[in-house]
């Protein structure tokens, strides 16, 4: 999915839980681009066989099993994306951080709906 589509979904989700503010636009755009990049990395990973562990031959000629560099990149992206979700109030903990005690009950139901919409 394109970053501009992700951006619209992020704004919609943030609006649904009451955390959207125009001053977050830089973070929203960065998150949207990371999500597009994650899609690309996942596609490359799947196209390359989707193996989490691959054989790697080092400069000495020894062959070892190592984590696939594409998989490592995906893991790193997921960690950074989750941090952005938290900062924008799109996780239960992030929502509570932004809205305080007001984020209980109904706010969590709105968050779940917003995250369902964001996922596609």
Q: Which of 36, 3, 12 is nearest to 88 (CA)?
A: 12
Residue 104 pLDDT: 56
Backbone angles phi, psi at 66, to 5 degrees: -135, 160
From first to last of its 120 residues, what are the pLDDT tens digits of the chain? Answer: 999 999 999 999 999 999 999 999 999 999 999 999 999 999 999 999 999 998 888 888 888 899 999 999 999 999 999 999 999 999 988 888 888 766 555 556 666 777 777 765
Query: Is 34:3 a contact under the CB 8 Å cutoff?
Result: no
Q: What is the pTM of this model?
A: 0.77
């Amino acid at each position: 999915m394109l970053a501009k589509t992700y951006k619209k979904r992020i704004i919609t989700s943030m609006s649904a839980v009451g955390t959207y503010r125009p001053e977050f636009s830089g973070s929203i755009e960065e998150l949207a681009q990371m999500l597009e990049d994650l899609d690309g990395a996942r596609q490359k990973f799947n196209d390359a066989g989707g193996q989490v562990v691959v054989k790697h031959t080092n400069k000495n000629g020894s062959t070892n099993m190592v984590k696939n560099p594409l998989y490592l990149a995906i893991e790193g992206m997921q960690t950074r994306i989750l941090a952005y979700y938290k900062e924008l109030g799109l996780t239960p903990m992030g929502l509570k951080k932004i809205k305080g005690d007001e984020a209980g009950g109904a706010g969590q139901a709105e968050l779940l709906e917003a995250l369902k919409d964001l996922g596609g």
